[in-house]
Amino acid sequence: MSYIVYDDNPSPRSGGKFNFADADATKFYMQHYSNRLLLQFIANNPLADFSEKQQANKELLICDRKLQFWMRHANFSQKAASEASSQLLREWSAK
């Protein structure tokens, strides 16, 4: 089976330079938080088959690592992330 969100065997990236110091850590955190909600949905969905649930659980570990990484960044705003997280949770609960 292929991956859902996170490829655990990614190919090397090419492209322009990424300025880590100026990165919008909260934005990147929220992208991964959104991915986490999707992966949790799949992992807990009774209609998902075993391999889908297994892959989702595997990718949740990757996602959590990425969330922790961006939380430690100097530009991360816990307040902004909490507000955005609440909004995402409201959107997911409406589905």
Q: What is the pLDDT along the chain (95 residues), one digit of tens a residue?
A: 589 999 988 777 767 788 889 999 999 999 999 999 999 999 999 999 999 999 999 999 999 999 999 999 999 999 999 999 999 999 998 86
Does an H or E element contain 58, and which? helix 50-71
Look at the block and give the residue holding tokens 């850590």.
25
Task: Give residue 95's pLDDT.
Answer: 66
Nearest Cα residue to 85 out of 42, 45, 31, 40: 31
pLDDT for 17:
84
pLDDT at residue 31 in the model: 98
Q: Is 58 exposed, middle or buried (0-12, 13-18, 19+ CB in 10 A)?
A: middle
SS3 call for 46: coil
Would you state the pLDDT for residue 52? 96
